[in-house]
Amino acid sequence: MTELSTESELFVATARAFLDKTAAISGQRELHAQGLSYQPAWWQRAAELGWAGLLVPEELGGGSVSGSGLHDLAAIAQAIGRTVGPGPLYPVSTVLAGLADADNADAHAESIAALVAGEQVATWAADEPGRPFRPHAPSATTTATVLATGTGYRLNGVKDRVEAGAQADLVLLGARTDDGALRQFLIRTDAPGVTVRPQTCVDLVKQYARIEFDDVEVEAAAVVGTAGQTAALIDRQAQVGIALACAESVGILDAVLALTIEWCRDRYSFGRPLASYQALKHRLADMTMWLHAARAITAGAVDKIAARTPDAGMWASAAKSYLGEHAGLLVQECIQLHGGIGVTWEHDLHVYLRRITLYSNLLGTPSEHHQAIFTAANTTEPAA
């Protein structure tokens, strides 16, 4: 990943200070006890720090410190991983990634401005019940119809595992039109015919929902992008989402391994620190190697996605599959090295493990991304 500039380092340092003060890991238990995912006022303060507008061009009210919004955003996600912070950074960012790139972005300028300011929350509904992650092949459908306000669509379908679905004001989803075209629509979650059903989640504060669409009237103005660019917008949204999930996972692994190394240095057994035992040194060395590899593959993916290179999708799949396979194992190893205290509710390790477990299958499982890499490698034309 490109080295952060002085301005970017200050931006990230401010974000870390904000998280340490307002979203310490102990605070996640308090939110969980209250049944909350995040405090809306907290997210608005985060948006005021510039978190929500990093992928939005300046002419639409956004902007980044370094000039590469994705690099700045990934650094924020990594900082969030340190405290397993709350907030809709991932759903809002993926939606804005699509809106900002859409040919009709100006038509959604009001929604973009509200999202950048933290006044509204949006989420991307890409998963469907009982199906793998295939955002390009939705079963949701729309039929062209005449509404009271003019021509539009009638939407039917179900979206599953939608982050912040119950907290979002807007939902971005893909559907097939009656002529078979793939389109995306930005819809209010309080629109008639939209039903939001909260779902349980392994994470303490992340909340998901099932959203049902029953003959929902959709105005033509709700369409995001042209038919020709919809697939590319979905690619971009998926890649941004994967980059953020991987960057946050790296932040989690960094924090967990630091906790474990400190524990092994301070904890004594038979008059010696645990870290002095050769077998444990080997395990810590293996985990350190996994962390460095996770950081490197994530940095590579962020670089490729930020540059919009043709192989960005394959790099995103490589990062997602590696983190999906190794991140959970690393945290489990750390729990084992902590002994009995590591499996208690009072210890913070399980809070990290819950988030890592959630991300392992979010936006595609490791096996699905292995298949995507195989497919991409075997469909790429050889160099001349």
Whichever domain contains 339, its CATH number is 1.20.140.10
Residue 48 in any domain: the answer is: yes
Mean pLDDT, rounded, for 273-293: 87
Return the pLDDT at 100. 95
Q: Which CA distances in Å does 241 have to 23, 34, 88, 95? A: 22, 27, 12, 10
Residue 187 is part of a domain; what is its CATH number? 2.40.110.10
What confidence tier does 3 reach under pLDDT thresholds 50, 70, 90? low
C-beta of residue 234 within 8 angstroms of C-beta of residue 184 = yes
- Looking at residue 4, its pLDDT comes to 63
Query: Quick one: 140 and 94 in the same domain?
Result: no
Question: Are 45 and 177 contained in the same domain?
Answer: no
212 plus 248 within the same structural domain: no
Confidence of residue 277 (pLDDT cuts 50, 70, 90): confident
What share of the chain in percent tops pLDDT 90? 76
Q: Are 173 and 187 in contact (CB under 8 A)?
A: yes
Q: Give, for 215, the enclosing helix (H) or strand (E).
A: strand 208-219
Residue 79 shares a structural domain with residue 163: no
Question: Positive or negative, the Cα torsion across 247, 248, 251, 253?
Answer: negative
pLDDT at 77 exceeding the cut of 90: yes
Residue that terminates a domain, selected from 193, 225, 257? 225
Q: Has residue 290 got a pLDDT over 80?
A: yes
Final residue in a domain of this structure, among 117, 144, 160: 117
Q: Which of 43-52, 230-239, 335-344 has the lowest mean pLDDT?
A: 335-344
CB within 8 A of 288, min separation 6: which ones?
257
Q: Which helix (DSSP H) or strand (DSSP E) does residue 154 occupy?
A: strand 150-163
Write down the residue that tokens 């509904």 correspond to: 125
Dist CA 205 CA 164 (whole Å): 10
State pTM to two decimals. 0.93
Strand partners, 127: 160
Are residue 316 and residue 372 in the same domain, yes or no? yes
Q: How confident is the model at residue 383 (pLDDT cuts 50, 70, 90)?
A: very low
Number of domains in the chain: 3
pLDDT band at 253 (very low <50, low <70, confident <90, very high): very high
Tell me the pLDDT tens digit for each residue of 19-43.
Answer: 999 999 888 889 999 999 999 999 9
- Last-in-domain residue among 84, 117, 150: 117
Distance (Å, rounded) from C-alpha 257 to C-alpha 291?
Answer: 8
Q: How much is the average pLDDT of 45-66?
A: 91
What are the structure tokens assigned to 264, written together?
């092994």
pLDDT of residue 175: 95
Diameter of the chain measured on Cα atoms: 80
For residue 384, being part of any structural domain is answered with: no
Close Cβ partners of 289 (under 8 Å, ≥ 6 residues apart): none
Lowest mean pLDDT among 270-274, 328-332, 333-337: 270-274
pLDDT value at position 381?
A: 53
Instruction: Identify the three-state secondary structure at position 124.
Output: strand
How much is the pLDDT for 2? Answer: 56
Q: Are residues 331 and 197 in the same domain?
A: no
- Does 247 share its domain with 291? yes
Are both 199 and 327 inside the same structural domain? no
Q: Which has the closest alpha carbon to 238: 103, 351, 136?
A: 136
Q: In angstroms, rounded to a whole number, what is the distance separating the alpha carbons of residues 16 and 313?
A: 29
The answer as to whether 371 is a domain residue is yes
Quote the mean pLDDT of the chain: 91
pLDDT tens-place string over residues 173-223: 999 999 899 999 999 999 999 999 999 999 999 999 999 999 999 999 999
> Which of the four pLDDT bands, split at 50, 70 and 90, describes residue 332?
very high
- Give the helix ranges, DSSP H, for the chain: 6-22, 25-34, 40-48, 69-83, 89-101, 109-116, 230-266, 278-307, 312-338, 349-361, 366-379
Q: Tell whether the model's pLDDT for residue 110 goes beyond 70.
A: yes
Report the alpha-carbon distance of residue 258 to residue 269 in Å, rounded. Answer: 20
Closest C-alpha to 329, from 262, 273, 257 = 257
The kind and range of the H/E element at 125 are: strand 122-125
What confidence category does residue 328 fall into, taking pLDDT thresholds of 50, 70 and 90? very high
The CATH number linked to 24 is 1.10.540.10
Question: What is the residue range of 159's domain?
Answer: 122-225
